[in-house]
Amino acid sequence: MDQKSGAQISTRAFVQSLIILFILMMIAGIPTQIISAGTYNTIEVNGRLVIDPGSFHYIPSPNYPSWRWFLAPIEVLFRPDGQTIIVIIVFLLMVGVSFAVMDKSGLLQSARLAF
């Protein structure tokens, strides 16, 4: 029984996942420099704000430096809606810790043997 418990990830797999995240951030950031920015106006219908489909117009594109592409995941946490994202992250961490505790206690192994 020299088997380690929990998920095992190698250094190579960790570096590969970081490279993939870097490439995805570049893929998401490049179109912000190429595609023109635009917006729709909203109108109130029956007490609700809805988008007016015929109101699209172009707006000046913000000139963000490329290094901000990499800070965007952190900057989003400090926005007004960032609390929702933080709650989701904490929930996922709690689920992960719960499975780690069940794995360390042997509960997952015994449940697997029972079924």
* Per-residue pLDDT at 106: 85
- Residue among 60, 62, 86, 63 at smallest CA distance from 74: 86
Rounded to two decimals, what is the model's pTM?
Answer: 0.57
> To which H or E segment does residue 38 belong?
strand 38-39
- The string of pLDDT tens digits covering residues 65-110 is 888 888 888 888 898 888 999 999 999 999 999 988 988 888 878 8
- The string of pLDDT tens digits covering residues 24-37 is 988 888 888 888 88
pLDDT at 8 over 80: no
> Cβ distance 31 to 56 under 8 Å?
no
